[in-house]
Amino acid sequence: MDKISLHGKKFVPYIKYEEIMSFIDQVADKLNEDYGNDSDIPILLCTLNGAMMFTSEIMKRLNFDCELMSVKIRSYSGAHTTGVIQETMGLTGDVKGRRIIIMEDIVDTGTTMAYLTDLLREKEARDVKICTMLFKPSQYKKDLKIDYVGRVVENKFILGFGLDYDDLGRQYKDIYVLDE
């Protein structure tokens, strides 16, 4: 893991790939425990683009059938959240009467999760759980339960393993933090 530079900012190593795989194993084990003996097939709802790598790794480890849907929502501009949700691609399927596991790359303020859970309830999803790769509890402003958390992180700007900075940096297998 070396320093990287994007859009004129330097990023330093934060979470190694091996550690990411370890906490993904733990999240998948918990999902298997909760859903593995149930014949009611849940939907994994991947929040694009950030949660694509996390969702893919989780799916490889599941021992139960599931469907995959996507939604594309944006609340960041550069390195900062705008607090305004833009739905750039709606749900890719019908969720009425279904159990949904929202797959998210990172939960910070919770604004996106509140928006999505409200949307899914409006569309009459039967049950909604939130599964996130990373969670920033110091920034969290909502009352929603985060059901599955890969790792708690500090309030720092990070990228890699699906997380981006103005659409760059998602491809790195490790996670990096802004070098302040």
The residues assigned a catalytic role are 108
3-state secondary structure of 169: coil
The rounded distance, in Å, linking the Cα atoms of 25 and 17 is 12
The rounded distance, in Å, linking the Cα atoms of 115 and 101 is 15
The rounded distance, in Å, linking the Cα atoms of 92 and 111 is 21
Looking at 70-177, list the stretches that DSSP marks H as alpha helix, in order from N- to C-terminal side. 111-122
Kindly give, in sequence order, each residue whose CB lies less than 8 Å from that of residue 91, ignoring residues fewer than 6 positions away.
45, 69, 70, 71, 119, 123
- Give the torsion sign (CA, 7, 4, 170, 176): negative
